[in-house]
């Protein structure tokens, strides 16, 4: 058991070193995943949520909505059901930096300012 613990500690250390080697904006979303210790299932839930929210936003735009603060609060609530410690601002910025869900994240970012 002690051997496995040492192996895990070594892997965690190597992971931190690799993160330091990446430029700050390179693969921002992937970096965000690692820094926030998200599981594969949590990432899957997050991506599915973004897809759903993106479709909802497009429907609202088609219905001539111009204010998306309810969408923002819905995003915030759903994000915290995935993992309460996640910060909305960090998710939005990481996605924008990596070019993910650009339209959705741009709309959501307006609610931060």
Residue range 67-72: average pLDDT? Answer: 90
Residue range 80-108: average pLDDT? Answer: 96
pLDDT at 113: 67
Enumerate the H helices of 2-68 as residue ranges. Answer: 2-21, 28-35, 40-62
Domain boundaries, the chain: 27-109
Rounded distance between C-alpha atoms, residue 33 and residue 86, angstroms: 10
The radius of gyration of the chain from alpha carbons, rounded to an integer in Å, stands at: 17
Residue range 61-83: average pLDDT? Answer: 92
CATH architecture entry for 27-109: Orthogonal Bundle (1.10)
pLDDT at 25: 67
Average pLDDT of the residues of the chain:
91
């Amino acid at each position: 058991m002690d051997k496995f613990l040492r192996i895990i500690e070594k892997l965690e250390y190597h992971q931190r070193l690799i993160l330091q080697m990446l430029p700050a904006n390179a693969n921002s979303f992937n970096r965000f995943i690692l820094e926030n210790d998200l599981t594969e299932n949590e990432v899957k839930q997050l991506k599915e949520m973004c897809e759903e929210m993106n479709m909802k936003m497009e429907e609202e735009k088609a219905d001539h909505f111009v204010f998306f603060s309810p969408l923002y609060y819905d995003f915030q609530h759903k994000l915290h059901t995935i993992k309460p410690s996640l910060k909305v601002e960090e998710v939005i910025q990481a996605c924008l930096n990596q070019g993910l869900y650009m339209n959705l994240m741009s709309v959501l970012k307006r609610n931060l300012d």
